[in-house]
Amino acid sequence: MSINDKAMGAILGLACGDALGAQIEGYHKAEIKNNFGQVTDIRENENIELLINNANDEKSLNFLQRKLKQKRMPGIYTDDTQQALILCECFNLYRNVDLSFIANQYIKFAKFKPNYEFGLFRGVGPGFVQAVSNLMQFTPYDVSGVNSAGNGAAMRIAPVGIFYHDNLDMQQKAVIDISLLTHRDIRGIAAACIISYSISYLINSTNNFSIFNFLQSLYSFVYNTEEYMVANYPTIMWDLETKHQVSKAIKLVEQLMDLDYNTAIEHIDKLAASTSNNPNCNHTSPFVLGSVLFSLYHFIKTKDNLENSIIKAVNEGGDTDTIGAMVGCLCGALHGAKEIPDRWTKALLNCNFLKSIGKELMDSLPEYSNNETLYENEKKLCNFEKNYRLKYINLLNQRLGL
């Protein structure tokens, strides 16, 4: 299998996992099972017209009104993939990290009028909104990020692992600098290193790689990056308790390999709750020692079957789009684009553009040949989803006699 096929697999796996999980984001595992059975395809999982027709009281009608304003269109990915594609576009244009370009793209997307959710961004969290608002006020790049250990840096970072798959020094600096735009907590950045390094390791490896060697080298990279951040980045937030929390968590994953899946998840949940100081935080929460650690463990435990791995991950519930994106890019980097189900890529809106921008990422030519920009593509996708929602909102209004 070629490196190019693995790189393309990482990009398409990220987008497919994101789109699959976007349909059920925020649902608990039991709610997914009770309402949808098991979500396996990128398609409409609910009969919206039936829900509208059966809504017969003020509570159910109000619920539908709120639901339809935020409903994801089947086949559309969220800001996880959008932010990753901005990094791809940066590398394709400049063959290097250009923080000014990335920051300006964040601002350009966010300022799109008429406002969609946050400009053109779909499903962003409050931390990203605050960070981009800081950038709009010309806050320096090393302090624009919020003090958050959320998974926002990790979810978008796969292109760095692809582009710098053969240069770990450049990869390390790129992950830190790009992550700092939105995250200043050392754990949020170190967790992004988990995804980027794993992608580069998988791209360079054979399918029968040693789990032990992988986790050992991953631990070393993340630990050294934590030390490097403390020594060289004064604006990063850390203390003695958080300094090596992420690298220590990788050691925990190694210890969990011999346990059954559900028991291992219980250990991850306990770690997430204790390190976040939130008793409700678990493996599907945005906190990195929840969802990023879970995605790493889940990938290793279920890596032999790309399709089943991604399906099982998103059906755990919670932050499903981001978990789907992270597990998807890892599985894609291991198995390559050819293993991603055709029914997913055919259902994925904008798939041809993703393939084009992904191909450029691994091209040695310094010219970016895409004729249509990412920004123009995202405007189209947002309009598609707005019209999709509007169709059902109009049906509901008719039902209400409005």
Structure tokens at 287: 């906190």
Element (H, E) at 201: helix 186-204
Could you tell me where the DSSP H helices lie in 111-185?
Answer: 126-136, 152-156, 158-163, 168-180
Both tokens assigned to 101: 């370009």
142 is in an annotated binding site: no
Count CA atoms within 13 Å of residue 119 on its CB side: 18
Residue 36 token pair? 């949808």
Report how far apart, in Å, the C-alpha atoms of 17 and of each of 9, 80, 394 are: 11, 10, 30
* 373 assigned binding-site residue: no
80 annotated ligand-binding residue: yes
DSSP string, 304-354: T-HHHHHHHHHTTBSSHHHHHHHHHHHHHHHH-GGGS-HHHHHHSTTHHHH
Nearest to 214, CA basis, from 151, 152, 297, 314: 297
Is 185 within any annotated ligand binding site? no
Who's near 84: CB < 8 A, 6+ residues apart? 11, 14, 155, 156, 157, 158, 159, 325
The answer to whether 319 is annotated as binding is: yes
| Cis-peptide, bond into residue 126, ω within 30° of zero | no
98 marked among binding-site residues? no
DSSP per position, 10-55:
HHHHHHHHHHHHHTTTT-BHHHHHHHHS---SSS--S-HHHHHHH-
Annotated binding site for Mg(2+): 78-80, 319, 321-322
Binding site, residues? Answer: 78-80, 319, 321-322
